[in-house]
Amino acid sequence: MNDSQKLIVNGCRRLEGELCVHGAKNSALPLLSAAVLAHGESVLHNCPALTDTDAACRILSHIGCKCRRSGDTVTVDASNVFGAEIPDSLMREMRSSIVFLGAMLGRTGHCRLSFPGGCDLGTRPIDLHLSALKQMGAAISEQHGFLECNAGKGLHGAKLVLSFPSVGATENILLASATAKGTTELHNAAREPEIADLADYLNKCGARIHGAGESVIVIEGVERLAPCEHSVIPDRIVAGTYLCAALITHGEVILTHCFPEHMNGFSQLFEAMGARIYTYGGGKMYVSGKKVNIAPPTIRTMPYPGFPTDIQAPFMALCTTAQGTSVFVETIFENRFRHVPELVRLGASVKTEGRVCVVQGVPRLTGAKVRAAELRGGAALVVAALAAEGTSEISGLQYIDRGYENIEGALRSIGADIKRV
């Protein structure tokens, strides 16, 4: 637990250079759960080394899988999945542990787990997950915070309609229906790139999933899945965060190993602020922030392909020094402005009212002691500190390390004065 560690940032250094984007946390986590469905050894390349992926590997080991990491390759041998219970301590570590439910029911027909933990962004219920699995034949009872889930006779296909395109619920349905009897038709599915990546992996293992990335997904259940080798997609949120860092310092950066097409939901807004962006083949994206200083139009977070809620905080940090007023409307989570009081400590002018936040651009930020309270809010404090005059001290790194691999090393490689102490 690295609660005692801090990042020390001396701001006002223009970032310049080339930066490689690591694999996506929000794809690696469901992929690690999906490995449970494959009878044998799956190999995941470009799997980021994060505290969350470590937690997923601990769950896999707990239920009988053998996991080993070599660099950014993780091998999961799920030949013998014997466990059916995921201990409360492991469930509380991260929200994404809930997608082990669909995988376990698909593989063993039985699972006992508690409600998931993870960043506190609001209530974050799992009603959509549970109602879908019940419609597929799972018997689910809740006792003392634990969910007892049984599909003794195996799951069956169903026509499912999500009232909200939940990412986690869509992933759980894909995992549960891949080996269910019959066909599942999922309407109003989440369309995030991480969903398509999960479907790609499962189809390589022998599943029959059609339409992932669209609102309607059809899954023809198959008897059994075999292991495969797969490479995790790049992390569009990490890429977006590094772009905010480069632009707030008016820098010039080339991102490599990224998928610019996954960032359309926010890259145009960088251009509206005055950034110059070029994308060229081979997963490369050039950005220049020389002229970035115009506040963008109103930002409303939306499910993909809209403006991602996960980039809201780092993007807000960027807007704190833009000329004019920016308005943010957070439509996905009810409590995702916890970084605001910390940005104000750095000299920003930001006011919140419920799910609306108004940012009045200021000429400069100044260094201060600030604390991360969750993952993306923590990243926003790093972005702001890079532009702040003087020294900033950022604590709460256990949140930032959940989603950014060696953030200080990455930023130092393009000229930031940042170190972990």
Active site residues: 119
Tell me the window of 119-127, 202-210, 263-271, 360-368 that interacts with ligand EPZ (CB under 6 A). 119-127
| 300 touches ligand EPZ by CB under 6 A | no
- Kindly list the distances between the CA atom of residue 138 and the CA atoms of 17, 111, 335, 367, in Å, as whole numbers in the listed order: 52, 10, 32, 53
DSSP-derived secondary structure for 147-194: EEEE-TT--B--EEE-SS--HHHHHHHHHHHTTSBSEEEEES----HH
Contact 238/21 with Cβ under 8 angstroms?
yes
Q: Please identify which residue in 289, 314, 378, 403 interacts with ligand EPZ, judged by CB under 6 A.
A: 403
Report, in Å, the least distance between residue 310 CB and ligand EPZ: 4
Number of residues that bind ligand EPZ (CB under 6 A): 25
Residue range at the interface with ligand EPZ (CB under 6 A); choices 68-76, 124-132, 225-233, 350-358:
124-132
| Burial degree of 154 (CB within 10 A; 0-12, 13-18, 19+) | middle
Strands 139-143 and 146-150: antiparallel
Q: Which of 127, 142, 214, 271 binds ligand EPZ (CB under 6 A)?
A: 127
Q: Is 29 among the residues that bind ligand EPZ (CB under 6 A)?
A: yes
Q: Does 217 bind ligand EPZ (CB under 6 A)?
A: no
CB of 162 to ligand EPZ, least distance (A): 9
Q: With binding defined as CB under 6 A, does residue 330 bind ligand EPZ?
A: no
Provide CB contacts within 8 A for 4, sequence distance 6+: none
Return d(Cα 294, Cα 364) in angstroms, integer: 14
Closest CB to ligand EPZ among residues 164, 278:
164
263 binds ligand EPZ (CB under 6 A): no
- For residue 328, what are its two tokens? 């943010």
In the complex, minimum distance from the CB of residue 416 to ligand EPZ, in angstroms, rounded to a whole number:
22
**Do 60 and 29 contact (CB within 8 A), yes or no?**
no
Beta bridge partners of 208: 220
Work out whether 345 is an interface residue with ligand EPZ (CB under 6 A). no
Using CB under 6 A as the binding rule, whether residue 309 contacts ligand EPZ is answered as yes
Q: Which two tokens stand for residue 301?
A: 């977070």
Residues lying near ligand EPZ in the complex (CB under 6 A): 25-26, 29, 95-96, 119, 124-129, 164, 166-169, 190, 309-310, 332-333, 375-376, 403
